[in-house]
Amino acid sequence: MIVVSAASGAFGRLVIDQLLARCPADRIVAAVRNPEGVADLAARGVRVRLGDYDDPATLRTAFKGTDRLLLISSPELEPSRRAGQHQAAIDAARTAGVGAIVYTSFLGADTQAHGVTAAHHATERALSASGLPHTLVRHPYYSEAFLNAGLRAAVTSGELASGTGGRGINTVFRSELAEAAARVLTEDRHLGRGYDFTGSLWTYHQLAHALSRISGRPVVHRDRNGRAPGAQGWLEDQVRAGALERQTDDLEQVLGHPPATLDQAVTEILTPSTPSAPSAAKPAAD
């Protein structure tokens, strides 16, 4: 049995889709805090169980009979509360006799105990201390925060502004990380590994070029004066500091093919039939 926690979210649903392509539906469990919200998954044959990170008893029940658990990190923003939720899930997994845990961590969490990786760092340590077999899949920022339908406005105006200082960005779409998670859950070669997943590196200058080439309309990049408001400014500060330039081939190794290129992403965004992705980065736990 493969259990996916927080399965009702955008990432969890994509993982369930990938698992359904790989194993029988009745071997897949969606553990969610609101079972009524995933009636569509139940209709596809997926087992649905109550599993609330704030209610350990529900986790112990949800994780019974589990060979592999995908522990998707909580969206809780307060680090100690978030780490506590993950600890509760790990404790419940031990009590329930879970065979192995795959945890969605974040790049840098192996070494950085503070800032955006604080809760992930604590969770990685908790997993080590638990003695449970596990695999760490460290995610970069989702591409959707940067490469989304909002870019169509740049094609219309002919201008793409950023405050990234020409530094590189590596991001990966949720769908690719979901495929990787499904592979890690269903293949035997990943136990005990810690993967640093990164996508292809791109800059806003290259993005403006890709928008021009693929739309057939000129788009120029402009360095923004001053900081963008809200989450966008916060993300761009990290890009300017060079924090998103790390490159590994871990994702390609797990997928067996390279992740999407910038041109592929832009082509998809500019194709009229593509459903709109979120148009701006929302404040979120990474």
Ligand X SMILES: NC(=O)c1ccc[n+]([C@@H]2O[C@H](COP(=O)([O-])OP(=O)(O)OC[C@H]3O[C@@H](n4cnc5c(N)ncnc54)[C@H](OP(=O)(O)O)[C@@H]3O)[C@@H](O)[C@H]2O)c1
Give residues in contact with ligand X (CB under 6 A).
6, 8-12, 32-34, 37, 52-54, 72-75, 104, 139, 141-142, 145, 284-286
**CB-nearer residue toward ligand X: 142 or 195:** 142
Among residues 140, 220, 222, the alpha carbon closest in space to that of 173 is found at 140
State the minimum distance, in angstroms, from the CB of residue 157 to ligand X. 26
Residue 271 to residues 151, 189, 266, 268, Cα–Cα distance (Å):
12, 37, 9, 5
Residue whose C-beta lies closest to ligand X: 9
d(CA 166, CA 169): 9
> Is 40 or 54 the residue whose CB approaches ligand X more closely?
54
C-beta of 199: minimal distance to ligand X in Å?
11
The span from the CA of 7 to the CA of 27, in Å, is 15
Cα distance between residue 165 and residue 138, in whole Å: 26
> For residues 75 and 218, which CB has a smaller minimum distance to ligand X in the complex?
75
- Is the alpha carbon torsion for 23, 29, 34, 40 positive or negative? positive
Q: Looking at beta carbons only, is 53 or 204 nearer to ligand X?
A: 53
CB of 171 vs ligand X, minimal distance in Å = 8
CB of 229 to ligand X, least distance (A): 18
Please report, as a single letter, which amino acid is at residue 141: Y
Q: Which is nearer to ligand X, 217 or 282 (CB)?
A: 282
* Shortest CB 105 distance to ligand X, Å: 10
CB of 72 to ligand X, least distance (A): 5
Query: Judged by CB, which is closer to ligand X: 30, or 100?
Result: 30
Dist. CA 281–CA 279, nearest whole Å: 7
Alpha-carbon distance of 190 to 201, in angstroms, equals 25
Q: What is the spatial distance between Cα 11 and Cα 197, in angstroms, rounded to a whole number?
A: 15
Residue number, 11 or 63, with CB nearest to ligand X:
11
Q: What are the angstrom distances between the C-alpha of 209 and each of 237, 249, 254, 263?
A: 22, 25, 30, 10
CB of 272 to ligand X, least distance (A): 25
Tell me the residue ranges of DSSP E strands in the chain: 2-5, 28-32, 47-50, 68-71, 100-106, 134-139, 141-142, 159-162, 169-172, 194-196, 201-202, 220-223
